[in-house]
Amino acid sequence: MTLKLFISAILKFLLGAVLVGALIFLPAGSLNYYYGWLLMGILFIPMFLAGIVMMVKNPSLLSSRLNAKEKLKEQSMVVKLSGLMFICGFIVAGLNFRFKWYSLPLPIVIIGCVLFLIAYILYAIVLKQNTYLSRTIKVVDNQKVIDTGLYGIVRHPMYFSTVILFLSMPLVLGSVFSLIIFLLYPFIIAFRIKSEEKFLLKELNGYEEYTKKVKYRLIPFIW
């Protein structure tokens, strides 16, 4: 662990929290949007704890997770589309609260919280099983194909967990209109996966054999 990495992690964490909070509460026009605080809590508390664990046990993984600048043109577009989706989804959720359009019933919000936490657990398992994971598409020296654990079920378990994670967010916020916006994410991630696999087939030794062994990209028996 280095001081530079620590400062970078803390600053990005705080910036993320402030940005998400602004996107939710400014359109809501009130800090009494309790579902907004609920999302902030289940999103950033586990994130903070996970960051501490990575900083102590695997700082190189934390460093790679902090780097979000994509070099590939197609992947850069995916990042921008995802960012736009988040901005619109959070703003609409806040407006939903302000103008009282329609709020999802409490049981749905609770289900959303459960799904969100399950997705977080899956995400943590993926990080433990694959230390090569990065937020950007790249292959490092001596990288090996991981084909055990969740990677023995689908080729992209991290993306599977993020689909659940992101689709549960509007449920936690209690906004069906936000959910409609977030339904774009599976299509965005499908595009990312296809682009990523073209890169991995070319750059990562053994990946072609892996695609024959594990047939499904994202959802078992479906795709």
Domain residue ranges in the chain: 3-213
pLDDT means over runs of 10, the chain (223 residues): 76 92 96 96 90 78 66 75 94 96 95 95 87 65 81 92 95 97 94 88 87 91 87
Q: In CATH, what class is 3-213?
A: mainly alpha
pLDDT of residue 38: 97
Q: Is 99 exposed, middle or buried (0-12, 13-18, 19+ CB in 10 A)?
A: exposed
Q: In angstroms, rounded to a whole number, what is the distance separating the alpha carbons of residues 48 and 61? A: 15
pLDDT of residue 85: 95
N-to-C CA span, the chain: 39
